[in-house]
Amino acid sequence: MVSFHRLFLFVLISTAVAAPASNSQPNSVYSALPEWQTVAPANEDINNSAWSQDTTEQVEPIRGNTGASMITQDDLALDQQNPDLYARPSTDEGYTPGAKWPFSLSSNRLQTGGWARQQNTNVFPIATDIASVQMRLKAGAIRELHWHTSAEWAYVLKGTTVVTSVNTDGQVFSSAVIKKEGDLWYFPAGIPHSLQATDDDPDGSEFLLVFDDGAFNEDSTFLLTDWTAHIPKEVLAKNFQINSGAFDHIPSKELYIFPSTPPPDDEQPPGSPNGFVPNTFTYKLSEAPAKPLSGGSIKIFDTRVFKAATTIVGALVTVEPGAMRELHWHPTMPEWDYILTGQGRMTIFAASATANTFDYRAGDIGYVPPSYGHYMENTGNTPLVYLELYNSDKVQDISLQQWLALTPPALVKAHLGVDNAFIEHLNKTKQYVVGSH
């Protein structure tokens, strides 16, 4: 709170400036008041996470001299994993919709060939532009021939998967994806495709699917067997110009994920008179070089390197312990995050004195609406590795530090009350991930 002495001084100076002498012309030059005389400085509270997400101790909603102990039963495990919600930083204010969804809370659809669980606006309302599915296929199992109204992007978590597709020109695509974790595939909306796990890994394969529509529903996919089960056999016979007996064994309902024999290593797709798709539907992100940074590294992938993926692009970010993904925002596109390993926290600034901090660990999803300021800080003792995805064709962001470094120094000083040393310290190059300080 501003002291009485400062308040008196402020009123005295304001009166003197506002009332020009009667025997002279009004002065067109005014001296700006220092920021401490107009707005109280930001608080100096230490706002690190109140405890580690890995703690096994009793935790309480107390920070400094604020809060009080919990005196009724509570879900201690969730409290321990969310220190910045349970005992939020003093810099947090207002309310933003929940920006965290743990895949562990998604209902898991179990099939004979594997399983799948999804995240969409039904469970994560803030994520209006991007939905996702985590899927596991046993060795040889097939995610049946299908297509979607949304584009499908994928990141391989484990194992090898064969993907096949045909485009509208009858050009074919088939690829063994992926020999190792971290490779990608992408199918545009409406393009039919299939997924089958090989037996390179005895456990089969597991992957993350991402769709460019937050309302996407995995249970509303267009499936081959679902369609043929709802077509009269005489219509099928007429379409394929064959006896209807050929369809005596078609399934009566969708197969979705079902077991099968693993494909041979040398299997090739049928040849097409129209050739192959012009832009490959896969990208070996695992082999792409990472850009080393002071606090970690980053691999950026968009249409400049993966031409087919026109609606979902992003970055694979590694943040070392104590480091952080720098303060930034994305002008027109949301950011969807998936934590692969480690743990961290992110504060989302929504304007109008509204900012909330969320804690993340492996398997959690984060979401930041367009233009919301944010960062991601590693709060653990091991590297934090996560995906940043955007509903766009190119990766774009605004770095707070770069912006200030490229703004006239007098303007920066007038806003923040900083000195020349701070101005000279600013980096005019985007940093992406900065080290611990």
Residue ranges of domains in the chain, CATH in brackets: 102-283 (2.60.120.10), 288-398 (2.60.120.10)
Question: How buried is 177 (Cβ within 10 angstroms: 0-12 exposed, 13-18 middle, 19+ buried)?
Answer: buried
Contact predicate 256/224, CB 8 Å:
no
List beta partners, residue 434: 324
Distance CA 51, CA 437 (A): 19
Check residue 350 and give its pLDDT.
Answer: 97
pLDDT tens readout for residues 410-437: 999 999 999 999 999 999 999 999 999 8
- Amino acid identity at 71: I
Kindly state the helix (H) or strand (E) to which residue 329 belongs, with its residue range: strand 324-329
Q: What is the mean pLDDT of residues 108-131?
A: 98
Question: How buried is 68 (Cβ within 10 angstroms: 0-12 exposed, 13-18 middle, 19+ buried)?
Answer: exposed
Residue-wise DSSP of 257-314: EE--PPPPTT--PPP-TT-B-SS-SEE-GGGSPPEEETTEEEEEESTTT-TT--S-EE
Q: What is the mean pLDDT of the chain?
A: 91
pLDDT tens readout for residues 381-390: 999 999 999 9
Question: How buried is 45 (Cβ within 10 angstroms: 0-12 exposed, 13-18 middle, 19+ buried)?
Answer: exposed
Check residue 215 and give its pLDDT.
Answer: 98
Between CA 91 and CA 359, with CA 102 as vertex, the angle to 5 degrees is 20
- SS3 for 127-147 is CCCCEEEEEEECCCCEEEEEE
Contact predicate 140/195, CB 8 Å:
no
Check residue 239 and give its pLDDT.
Answer: 98
| Whether pLDDT at 274 is above 80 | yes
How many residues are there in the chain?
437
Check residue 39 and give its pLDDT.
Answer: 79
pLDDT tens readout for residues 47-105: 999 999 999 999 999 999 999 999 999 999 999 999 999 999 999 999 999 999 999 99
Check residue 21 and give its pLDDT.
Answer: 43
Residues belonging to the binding site are: 146, 148, 152, 193, 328, 330, 335, 374
- Which distant-in-sequence residues (6+ apart) come within 8 Å of 192 by Cβ? 145, 146, 147, 165, 166
34: confidence class by pLDDT, cuts 50, 70, 90: low
Check residue 19 and give its pLDDT.
Answer: 41
42: confidence class by pLDDT, cuts 50, 70, 90: confident
What DSSP state is assigned to residue 191?
Answer: -
Which residues are identified as catalytic? 388
Tokens of 200: 């390179």
242: confidence class by pLDDT, cuts 50, 70, 90: very high
291: confidence class by pLDDT, cuts 50, 70, 90: very high
279: confidence class by pLDDT, cuts 50, 70, 90: very high
Check residue 40 and give its pLDDT.
Answer: 77
Contact predicate 100/93, CB 8 Å:
no
Distance CA 386, CA 405 (A): 28
Check residue 366 and give its pLDDT.
Answer: 98
pLDDT tens readout for residues 297-355: 999 999 999 999 999 999 999 999 999 999 999 999 999 999 999 999 999 999 999 99
179: confidence class by pLDDT, cuts 50, 70, 90: low
Name which of 3-7, 255-259, 333-337, 374-378 the model is least confident about: 3-7
Question: With the C-alpha atoms ordered 221, 226, 228, 230, is the resulting torsion angle positive or negative?
Answer: negative
Contact predicate 173/291, CB 8 Å:
no
Residues belonging to the binding site for Mn(2+) are: 146, 148, 152, 193, 328, 330, 335, 374
Distance CA 218, CA 195 (A): 15
**β 114-119/108-111 pair status:** antiparallel
pLDDT tens readout for residues 155-174: 999 999 999 999 999 999 97
